[in-house]
């Protein structure tokens, strides 16, 4: 029962995102006609200091209990970022549902809530690219570099941008 309600909601949300011309830089579709698995393309605007101009492919996987439980997001395109594991899994607080933040790194507004939509998720992830949380990193190397060696961090990110465009670049 929950799965059918979630699939109806996801179908409406996907259709809305595909027809909404006011969401620049985000394209969504289904993976193998599965409404619970979306392929997303994030085309990052040049305003984003580190990732601007990049095209990043990701998957959003929704549970049958959506919207009461959050989806999982995994980048398919390699991306070097403090809040993204080397596997591509996004470490962002609202993806964790009702878990308790033991260390006080998040506000209640950052936790998952059923009012979140795929659009708000993706816009938040794009915002996260510009403003990482280096206090609770998924990628310790990226967080250290973000704090201690911004020039090298930018160099690594720009290499990711070029790779996302299909260009070979060693820096």
Backbone angles phi, psi at 79, to 5 degrees: -150, 130
Q: What tokens does 1 get?
A: 């029962």
Backbone angles phi, psi at 144, to 5 degrees: -60, -45
Q: What tokens does 67 get?
A: 């919207």
Backbone angles phi, psi at 60, to 5 degrees: -110, 125
Q: What tokens does 123 get?
A: 């816009």
Number of neighbouring beta carbons within 10 Å of residue 21: 5
Q: What tokens does 95 get?
A: 């993806």
CB 43 within 8 A of CB 104: no
Task: Provide the annotated active-site residues.
Answer: 91
- Region at 104 (left for phi over 0; alpha for psi -120 to 50; beta for the rest): left
d(CA 137, CA 135): 6
């Amino acid at each position: 029962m929950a799965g059918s309600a979630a699939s109806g909601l996801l179908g409406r949300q996907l259709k809305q995102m595909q027809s909404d011309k006011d969401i620049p830089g985000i394209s969504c579709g289904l993976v193998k006609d599965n409404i619970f698995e979306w392929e997303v393309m994030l085309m990052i605007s040049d305003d984003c200091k580190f990732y601007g101009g990049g095209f990043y492919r990701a998957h959003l996987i929704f549970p049958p209990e959506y919207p009461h439980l959050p989806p999982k997001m995994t980048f398919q395109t390699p991306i070097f970022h403090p809040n993204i594991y080397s596997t591509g899994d996004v470490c962002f607080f609202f993806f964790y549902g009702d878990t308790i933040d033991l260390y006080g790194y998040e506000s209640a507004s950052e936790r998952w809530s059923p009012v979140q939509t795929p659009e708000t998720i993706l816009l938040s992830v794009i915002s996260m690219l510009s403003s990482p949380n280096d206090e609770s990193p998924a990628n310790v190397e990226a967080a250290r570099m973000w704090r201690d060696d911004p020039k090298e961090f930018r160099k690594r990110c720009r290499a990711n941008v070029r790779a996302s465009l299909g260009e070979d670049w060693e820096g």
